[in-house]
């Protein structure tokens, strides 16, 4: 760990989360005005791409922890929330009055910032950004996979295969003839819209601004989704978890759905009222649910969702790709350039709604 003296035209960045040597070099190549403070011995080994919490069996000895925290407390910016721990983030913000910017690794990093319970002054002093958009491609593919699974009767196919039952032939749904309600037209939603449009689906999107995007045939405000629920064959959620979106998909919404509709969730688990969803699955109002996120994670072992014939459980893994670490490093470098040049940062956390 170095102790380079600051200059106004440079940015001292402490690496608080696992970052490979290759990606360290990539960041410095993209933005040479960064002074990167990194010691690989102080960072936990990752078990898979984007495993920024690292191996839970790994721990820093007390002396290494002191060195790690000293590095964090000397920086203008942090690459990652220390140990993906809101308590550690709060400690660092309060111990380091020079800290200007923290980049969170998750697309939904705002929830981690909220959990740190920072004061209004601290939230005003430090900029927070997320990795939103990096995961758009993989999540959009999972969303399309879920819509296709519902249209093609994946639960029925899997049940027949499990029981060795040939059964009779039936007419499968065609995505090209379906109407899809897409909740959220941000980075993920925009890619989902384009992919569904390419399959010929009619896409109804939701947007606060009412502004449409490529691939969306109609835009409605969130407070009208119950009105359109009876007209859609599938629902794809890409919304973040905020006070405004909590249990947005509730009993009232599911009761209004066209029977047999598909639900895909690649946003946040808190958007779906799981009690209401299970009731809708049992009644057939929801014919298939492809879920990558849940209200409680890991999904409790006694959750009825595990064993439901019409549910596909994905353990919050649909966003991962081998390119993720590189893309986050590139995003960080781009934002560092913006910060040094006095420009607005990409993916700023809204410190009111925390998304």
Beta-carbon contacts of 271 under 8 Å, excluding residues fewer than 6 positions away, are: 183, 237, 239, 241, 245, 246, 247, 248, 249, 265
d(CA 269, CA 266) in angstroms, rounded, equals: 8
Beta-carbon contacts of 160 under 8 Å, excluding residues fewer than 6 positions away, are: 166, 167
Can 310 be counted among the known catalytic residues? no
| Torsional class of 133: left (φ above 0), alpha (ψ -120 to 50), beta (otherwise) | left
SS3 of 138, please?
helix
d(CA 233, CA 179) in angstroms, rounded, equals: 5
Can 316 be counted among the known catalytic residues? yes
SS3 of 34, please?
strand
Q: Which of 4, 177, 227, 297 is catalytic?
A: 297
Can 268 be counted among the known catalytic residues? yes
The CB-side HSE value for 45 (13 A sphere, CA atoms) comes to 4
Whether the CA torsion 56, 60, 65, 71 is positive or negative: it is: negative
SS3 of 273, please?
coil
Q: Which of 156, 316, 326, 348 is catalytic?
A: 316
d(CA 162, CA 287) in angstroms, rounded, equals: 19
Q: Which of 268, 274, 295, 324 is catalytic?
A: 268
Dmax (CA) of the chain: 75
d(CA 180, CA 174) in angstroms, rounded, equals: 12
d(CA 65, CA 42) in angstroms, rounded, equals: 8
The CB-side HSE value for 34 (13 A sphere, CA atoms) comes to 26
Q: Which residues have a catalytic role annotated?
A: 268, 297, 316
């Amino acid at each position: 760990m170095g102790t380079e003296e600051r200059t106004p035209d440079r940015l001292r960045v402490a690496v608080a989360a696992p970052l490979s040597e290759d990606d360290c070099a990539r960041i410095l190549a993209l933005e040479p005005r960064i002074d990167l403070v990194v010691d690989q011995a102080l960072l936990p080994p990752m078990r898979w791409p984007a495993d920024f919490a690292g191996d839970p069996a790994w721990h820093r000895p007390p002396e290494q922890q002191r060195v790690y925290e000293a590095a964090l407390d000397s920086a203008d910016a942090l690459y990652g929330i220390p140990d993906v721990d809101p308590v550690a983030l709060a400690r660092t913000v309060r111990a380091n009055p020079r800290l200007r910017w923290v980049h969170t690794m998750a697309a939904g990093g705002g929830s981690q910032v909220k959990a740190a319970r920072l004061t209004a002054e601290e939230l005003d002093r430090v900029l927070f950004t997320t990795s939103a958009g990096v995961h758009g491609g993989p999540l959009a593919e999972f969303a399309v996979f879920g819509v296709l699974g519902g249209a093609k009767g994946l639960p029925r196919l899997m049940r027949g295969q499990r029981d060795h039952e040939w059964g009779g032939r039936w007419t499968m749904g065609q995505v090209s003839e379906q109407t899809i309600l897409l909740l959220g037209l941000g980075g993920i939603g925009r890619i989902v819209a384009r992919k569904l449009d390419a399959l010929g689906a009619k896409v109804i999107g939701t947007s606060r601004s009412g502004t449409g995007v490529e691939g969306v045939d109609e835009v409605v405000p969130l407070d009208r989704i119950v009105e359109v629920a009876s007209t859609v064959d599938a629902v794809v959620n890409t919304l973040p978890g905020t006070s405004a979106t909590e249990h947005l998909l509730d009993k009232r919404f599911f009761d209004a759905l066209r029977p047999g509709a598909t639900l895909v969730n690649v946003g946040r688990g808190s958007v779906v009222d799981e009690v209401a969803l299970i009731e809708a699955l049992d009644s057939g109002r929801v014919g298939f649910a492809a879920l990558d996120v849940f209200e409680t994670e890991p999904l409790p072992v006694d959750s009825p969702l595990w064993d439901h014939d019409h549910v596909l459980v994905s353990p919050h893994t649909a966003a991962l790709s081998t390119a993720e670490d590189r893309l986050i490093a590139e995003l960080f470098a781009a934002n560092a350039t913006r910060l040094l040049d006095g420009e607005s940062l990409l993916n700023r956390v809204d410190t009111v709604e925390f998304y």
